[in-house]
Amino acid sequence: MSTRKSRPIVAIVGRPNVGKSTLFNALAGENISIVKDTPGVTRDRIYADCTWLNYTFTLIDTGGIEPDSKDVILSQMREQAQIAIDTADVILFMTDMKQGMTDADSKVADMLRRSHKPVLLVVNKVDKYSDMAMAEVYEFYNLGIGDPYPVSSANKTGLGDLLDAVVKYFPEPGAEEEDDDSVKIAIVGKPNVGKSSIINRLIGENRVIVSDIAGTTRDAVDTRVMHNGKEYVFIDTAGLRRKNKIKEELEHYMIIRTVGAVDRADITVVVIDASEGVSEQDAKIAGIAHDRGKAVIVAVNKWDLVEKDNHSVKKFTDNIHNTLSFLPYAEILFISAETGQRLGKLYDTIDMVSANQNLRVQTGVLNEIISEAVMMQQPPTDKGKMLKIYYAVQVGVKPPTFVLFVNKKELFHFSYQRYIENQLRATFGFRGTPLKLIIRERSGEENPV
């Protein structure tokens, strides 16, 4: 049984150069993707959380590059479409009015129609709504996807009608999620680091296919496990298809699937290959979990293959802290799925991290700790004005979220926020989970904490 995603996923699919990244940026409200006239330029960020009419969703740009052969373009498009079908709740199929309907559009439309997922047909580059332009838009009815939505990504026109149609497929904001007390854990990492082997060991049977070929796991698989009377759901991120040899594309798809899995999880286990060390790609994957406020456990797998001395663990731990410097709170475990070494500790660590991310602090105690922190280190001042923290309250868990009421937000510098966070961690632990501080300004000279 699958658990519901915390945010619906909307994927943009289409041929190179139809304006997918421009639409992505227009909807995300900031220039996240790099847009150039060169088809298929590599982008750093391909997902963003967007809000429309009280609905929050994750938007994904499937990107794609343009090789020389038209046949390869078609296979790339099929690959993108399949990713969207696997991962998304709603698919935006993007076409280009100026180029007209192409054979590649028709073939991908066939795939999308058979997917039984909601697909909205977007006709881009409709700069003027003239009779002549609309006649060209109507040509796209021939794709059999339904009503085309004419938009201009560059001019940001037609986007409201498109978003209105998108959110109709979402559950109502605040709709009750299924009652499920199980801890949800996403096992993420580069292809072939041993994600499926770890799950097989934890559940004691080969439910997830494992092979030495990178990317043999096909789709995200949810495995429900009972251990010591507790229920866990392991979400195995799908591997990547072997036939796709293009490195940037592989990374692109890996990130899309990772976003989908992390979104549904409470805790993310980032699996690193001990024999390869910590890579920039590992940092990108871990960054997804951090950005989304998820608890993180770093599992260094294949530790049995590493030649060790007395300093090996410290050296590797330092390396993790340097490369993943944004995750100082992450728990680190050295394991081997092959031999089962220390794998039992993973359940204990998951339990500990789960308790920390659900920890609630009494308001009186919270304000006492912050008051002591303020006495130990004077708050920042600017032009004779000192930061005052009037009051703090915890408003949520997963991650633990605190609202601090202050006299002037701009005085609450990042470094002082980090100091307050460190004091909370020193007192309450919060191992494995990020903390979220929300700073609110309040007028009046109430007594500060």
How far does CA 106 lie from the centroid of its chain? Answer: 31
Question: Which range has the worst mean pLDDT, 225-229, 265-269, 364-368?
Answer: 225-229
pLDDT-based confidence at 243, cuts 50/70/90?
very low
Q: What pLDDT is stored for residue 174 in this prediction? A: 61
In the predicted model, what is the mean pLDDT of the chain? 82
pLDDT value, residue 91:
92
CB within 8 Å of 417: residues ≥ 6 apart: 437, 439
Q: Three-class SS string for 167-231?
A: HCCCCCCCCCCCCCCCEEEEEEECCCCCHHHHHHHHHCCCCCCCCCCCCCCCCCEEEEEEECCEE
d(CA 346, CA 332): 10
Whole-angstrom distance, CA of residue 426 vs CA of residue 202 = 32
Both structure tokens of 241 = 């298809």
Asked if 140 and 101 touch (Cβ cutoff 8 Å), the reply is: yes
The structure tokens listed for 407 are 């006299």
Compute the CA torsion angle 77, 81, 86, 91 (nearest 10 deg).
150
Res 242: pLDDT: 39
Q: What is the pLDDT of residue 76?
A: 67
- pLDDT higher than threshold 80 for residue 206: no
CB half-sphere exposure, 195, CA atoms < 13 A: 30
pLDDT digits (tens, 9 = 90+) for 246-285: 455 556 666 777 888 888 899 999 999 999 999 988 998 8
Provide the pLDDT confidence category of residue 377 given band limits of 50, 70 and 90.
very high
Whole-angstrom distance, CA of residue 343 vs CA of residue 299:
9
Report d(CA 342, CA 169) in Å as an integer: 44
pLDDT number for residue 169: 92
pLDDT at position 180 is 65
Higher pLDDT, 425 or 47: 425
pLDDT digits (tens, 9 = 90+) for 121-180: 999 988 887 778 788 888 999 998 999 999 998 898 999 999 999 999 988 766 545 556
Q: Which residues fall within 8 angstroms of residue 207, CB to CB, at 6 or more apart?
A: 199, 200, 221, 223
What's the distance, Cα to Cα, between the start and end of the chain in Å? 47
Angle, alpha carbons 64-69-72 (nearest 5°):
50
Residue 9 has pLDDT above 80, yes or no: yes
C-alpha pair distances (Å), 282 with each of 258, 269, 300, 323: 12, 12, 11, 9
d(CA 49, CA 56): 7
pLDDT digits (tens, 9 = 90+) for 338-362: 898 998 899 999 999 999 999 999 9
Strand duo 389-396 + 401-406: pairing: antiparallel
Give residue 391's Cα distance to chain centre: 32
Q: Rounded CA gap, 265 and 406, in Å? A: 33
**Residue 34 — pLDDT band, cuts 50, 70, 90?**
very low
| Residue 206, CA distances (Å) to 18, 25, 211, 350 in order | 43, 42, 11, 22
pTM of this prediction exceeds 0.85: no
